[in-house]
Structure 1
Amino acid sequence: MEFRHLRYFLVLAEELHFGRAAQRLAITQPPLSLNIQQLEASVGAQLFTRNSRGVQLTAAGQAFVPAARQLLERAGAAAREARDVAQGVVGSLQVGFAGTVLYRGLPQILKRFHAEHPQLRLVLHEMSSSDQLVDLMHDRLDVGFVHTPRVASGFSQVLVSRQSFVACLPGSHRLAKQRSIDLGAFAGEPFVAISRSVSPDYHDRILGLCADHGFLPEVRFELRHWLSVVSVVAQGLGVSLVPEALAMAGMPDARFIKLKGETPPYDTRCLWKTEREQAALGAFLAAVRGFAQPIE
């Protein structure tokens, strides 16, 4: 049974006349008769009676009409959906992101993307950069926003944003009202750090920066999320270095102060598998590139 057979059947069921049905289908009568015979053989039942008075549907033919119509409608809907997915009009993407992207980059990208592609669905997963890299490798994510300079081969990337680290300290801290501070002032202070297992690059960079200023921090707490770092600092349990975008988190009793001198940049990269071909992904990356600013 082919979809052509169903179309021919429904037209003949409406016209009940081979000549008129063939004319509607823009074919001659012999091919129409042959296709109806092929359909009846496939179904295993006679669908029409033919006599001198014309063509009539049998009981089996009458029962087959709604089923045939439904099959054609489903096939048409499936074809439209496949075409829309291929063109990037509908579908879904699995997007990973590290928490700080919520304060710089991701909201603007999402707003632009949904304005241009309202039928495309994004499933967001908040994950560490290291976990995203694993899921990207195994195709559990289509795209990810990570904070790591280490990008494996086989991936493409866009540098979305670059920000500085700032000092984060409790509102009650003796340095909380300073406009800028020297990192060396943190010597001997209890320190709150992002976990090395979650972000080894930035964990090591922060400790290295402290060493450059003449001290090794006394790390009292290691946490998996930057917002957790800020929360612990706000409770008066230590000081830290965090990406400057976290100042937008509105965490009570946390103060963010510029550091004197240079600090390593905190980069946000958008990653995806280079070989991955998907129209929806291309549409999303266009929104990412529309937000990303050239970085020297």
Structure 2
Amino acid sequence: MELRHLKYFITVAKELHFSRAAELLQMAQPPLSQQIKQLEEEMGVKLFNRTQRRVELTEAGVSFYERACELLENLNFACDEAQKIHLGEKGDIILGFTGSPTFHILPRVLQVSKQEYPELKIELKELTTAEQVRALNKGEIHVGLLVPPINSNLLNIETLNEGSFVIALPKKHPLVKQGAPVDLSSLANENFLMPRRKDGPGYYDAMMNLCYQAGFEPNIILEAKQYLTFISLVSFGIGVALLPSSIKFIDREEVELMPIGNSLSNWTVSVAWNKNNRTPALQIFLKLLKKTTLYTEK
């Protein structure tokens, strides 16, 4: 039995008229009748009752028609799904991300992906830069949003955008009343909240350079991973924190984010993926990512 036999049978079963079915199939009626006869002989089942005036499905024909329609529908679905996977329009992406992209890059690319490629399934894993590099090298994630520098010969790395730092201060801090920008040297005696260097040396070093440029080494009293942890601690007056300007997108009722005067250091967000990963879904996601980050945040 061939696929064309099913298509011929389904068309005749729908029309219950060989001439009309042959016209729809763009073939002559005698060859169509012969194909249906061959199908019945191969199956050993009579599918149609034929008279000079009418064509009817037998009881076996009704059952076979239902199953044949299901089979053809499943086949069409399988072909469509395979094509979408081949084009990268359907598939699974495991996306690693670190803090700073969370508030600007990540929401936008997820929104665009949902709109343009709804069958592209994206699984999120929040990891530090160091954890992402390890996961990418092992194939545990497909792509990462992280902060350079990144030392790995196994990865492709491209810069997405860069942004400035802000200083997070409690609303009641005296410098908030003075207005922006803040001279970082005026915070030399403050207690600082900082990320751990091993989690993201590029981000950590950029913040330390800011302090060194201002003429002091920060008094670090606490280290943490999450930016929201810093915001919470700053709101209670535990200390102050240098944060990426993208954090302005989150609610921070008791914290003021102040620009820094004469700042020469920026943070950079890059995308990284394993050089051996050439799946179509990854290529589609990378195009979406670059399209949604065609700007430099200052």
> Taking structure 1 as the reference length, what is the TM-score of the superposition?
0.75
Q: What are the equivalent positions in structure 2 for 1:1-296 lying under 5 Å apart?
A: 1-13=1-13, 25=25, 26=27, 29=30, 33=34, 37=38, 41=42, 45-48=44-47, 58-87=58-87, 93-114=93-114, 117=116, 119-121=118-120, 123=122, 125=124, 127-128=126-127, 129-139=129-139, 141-150=141-150, 152-178=152-178, 179-211=180-212, 213-273=214-274, 275-278=277-280, 281-282=283-284, 285-286=287-288, 288-293=290-295
DSSP 3-state at the match of 1:83: helix
Q: Distance between the aligned counterparts of 2:257 and 2:55, measured in 1?
A: 85
1:234–1:254 CA contact under 8 A, matched in 2 = yes
Which residue identity is paired with 2:204?
Answer: H
Q: Mark the runs of 5 or more structure 2 residues left unpaired by the alignment.
A: none
**Cα offset, 1:66, TM superposition:** 0.7
2:163–2:246 CA contact under 8 A, matched in 1 = yes
Which residue identity is paired with 2:258?
Answer: I
DSSP 3-state at the match of 1:241: strand
2:90–2:121 CA contact under 8 A, matched in 1 = no
Provide the alpha-carbon RMSD of the alignment: 3.9
Q: Mark the runs of 5 or more structure 1 residues left unpaired by the alignment.
A: none
Q: Mean alpha-carbon deviation: is it higher for 206-215 or for 240-249?
A: 206-215
Q: 1:47-87 deviations in whole A, cap 9, x for unaligned?
A: 44799979875543332111111111221222233334444
Which residue identity is paired with 2:284?
Answer: G
Q: 1:221-260 deviations in whole A, cap 9, x for unaligned?
A: 1111122112211210012211122234331232333334
Which residue identity is paired with 1:285?
Answer: K
Q: Distance between the aligned counterparts of 1:50 and 1:247, measured in 2?
A: 75
Structure 1 moving runs of 4+ over 6 Å: 15-20, 49-56
**Cα offset, 1:137, TM superposition:** 4.3
Which residue identity is paired with 1:73?
Answer: E
User: Identity across aligned pairs (percent)?
Assistant: 27
Q: Distance between the aligned counterparts of 1:78 and 1:177, measured in 2?
A: 64
Q: Distance between the aligned counterparts of 2:294 and 2:22, measured in 1?
A: 59
Q: Relative to 1, partners in 2 of residues 1:173 and 1:9: Cα closer, same or farther, differing over 3 Å?
A: same
> Taking structure 2 as the reference length, what is the TM-score of the superposition?
0.75
Q: Relative to 1, partners in 2 of residues 1:228 and 1:21: Cα closer, same or farther, differing over 3 Å?
A: same
DSSP 3-state at the match of 2:83: helix
**Cα offset, 1:114, TM superposition:** 4.9
Q: Mean alpha-carbon deviation: is it higher for 56-65 or for 1-10?
A: 56-65
Q: 1:206-227 deviations in whole A, cap 9, x for unaligned?
A: 3354355554433221111122
DSSP 3-state at the match of 2:4: helix
Q: Distance between the aligned counterparts of 1:287 and 1:101, measured in 2?
A: 11
Q: Distance between the aligned counterparts of 2:68 and 2:289, measured in 1?
A: 43
1:91–1:119 CA contact under 8 A, matched in 2 = no
2:206–2:266 CA contact under 8 A, matched in 1 = no
